[in-house]
């Protein structure tokens, strides 16, 4: 498991990392209703389409939510998890350490060339991502999709779960989705879940993570949030990238799991 470039490989103990991963899952459930259903749909595709000993590339893995579920549910699977946030990378390395050689965690910037070298010659059966690629601009997203298409063998699949907002052509649906998001967040935060900023505040209570805060700030200083690309853009970009079959395998209001087969 590689440490973020320019940082020391200070270890966050596994217990603390697992706790932070659990808090992350609670936090994300406020922003993504029925989040576990997303993962169930993704993993059903893997079970029905991929070999039991599959290798998965977990793009923008965060603290390891997808890889943790994958490795627990697929005993013969291997995961290569990549992210650019040094704090999340350190949590992921600690949280996933119990899986031993079945997982690698790498410091990778998806907007640069060469990131697809992370699997180091392994044949990747599937590429998964959840609530992450919306940080990319449309041009960057197309580049990532094109790189994934070149990385995957024939029959390999990409599954990207994210909010793909309704646009002005469907104002009623857009308002329903907005109100639904607000209600879910109110209920979940009201039950004690941390919000996104509060999760980082909690994480920085650990000296092993606090020392990474300046590096995280430096890395993302010139990367403002992007306008969310609609479903139609993702499907068109995947076709342009060279995928043979594209579509969706799950939807709840404006939350989708997008599918593409090489």
Q: Is 49 exposed, middle or buried (0-12, 13-18, 19+ CB in 10 A)?
A: middle
pLDDT at res. 227 = 82
* pLDDT for the residue 228: 80
Residue 63 has what pLDDT? 98
What are the residue ranges in the chain where pLDDT is below 70? 1-9
Q: What are the backbone angles phi and psi of residue 82, rounded to the nearest 5°?
A: -130, 145
Give the model's pLDDT for residue 121: 81
The H or E element containing residue 79 is: strand 78-83
> Which residue reads 């990131």 in tokens?
115
Cα angle value 66/69/74 (rounded, 5°): 115
Helices first, then strands: H and E counts in the chain: 10, 7
pTM of the entire predicted model: 0.94
Closest CA to 76 of 51, 109, 113, 41: 51
| Torsion region of 129: left, alpha or beta (phi above 0 gives left; psi -120 to 50 gives alpha) | beta
Sheet containing strand 245-252, strands side by side = 103-107, 78-83, 55-58, 126-130, 157-163, 255-261, 245-252
Q: What is the pLDDT of residue 120?
A: 85
Tokens for 170, please give them: 């469907």
What Rg, from alpha-carbon coordinates, does the chain have?
Answer: 18
Pick the CATH number of 14-261 from 3.20.20.80, 3.40.720.10, 3.40.50.620, 3.40.50.150: 3.40.50.150
pLDDT for position 7: 47
């Amino acid at each position: 498991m590689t440490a973020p470039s320019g940082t020391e490989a200070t270890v966050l103990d596994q217990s603390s990392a697992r706790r932070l991963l659990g808090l992350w899952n609670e936090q994300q459930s406020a922003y993504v209703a029925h989040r576990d259903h997303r993962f169930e749909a993704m993993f059903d595709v893997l079970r029905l389409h991929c070999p039991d000993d599959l290798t998965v590339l977990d793009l923008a893995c965060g603290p390891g939510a997808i890889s943790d579920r994958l490795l627990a549910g697929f005993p013969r699977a291997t995961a290569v998890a990549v992210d650019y946030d040094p704090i999340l990378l350190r949590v992921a390395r600690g949280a996933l350490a119990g899986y031993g050689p079945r997982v690698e965690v790498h410091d990778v910037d998806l907007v640069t060339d060469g990131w697809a070298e992370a699997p180091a010659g392994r044949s990747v059966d599937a590429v998964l991502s959840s609530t992450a690629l919306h940080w990319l601009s449309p041009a960057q997203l197309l580049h990532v999709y094109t790189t994934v298409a070149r990385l995957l063998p024939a029959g390999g699949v990409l599954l990207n779960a994210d909010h793909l907002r309704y646009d002005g052509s469907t104002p009623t649906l857009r308002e329903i989705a907005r109100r639904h998001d607000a209600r879910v967040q109110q209920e979940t935060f009201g039950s004690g879940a941390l919000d996104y900023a509060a999760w980082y505040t909690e994480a920085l209570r650990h000296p092993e993570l606090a020392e990474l805060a300046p590096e995280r700030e430096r890395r993302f200083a010139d990367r403002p949030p992007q306008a969310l690309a609609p479903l139609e853009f993702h499907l068109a970009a995947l076709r342009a990238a060279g995928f043979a079959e594209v579509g969706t395998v799950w939807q709840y209001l404006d939350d989708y799991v997008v599918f593409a087969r090489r």
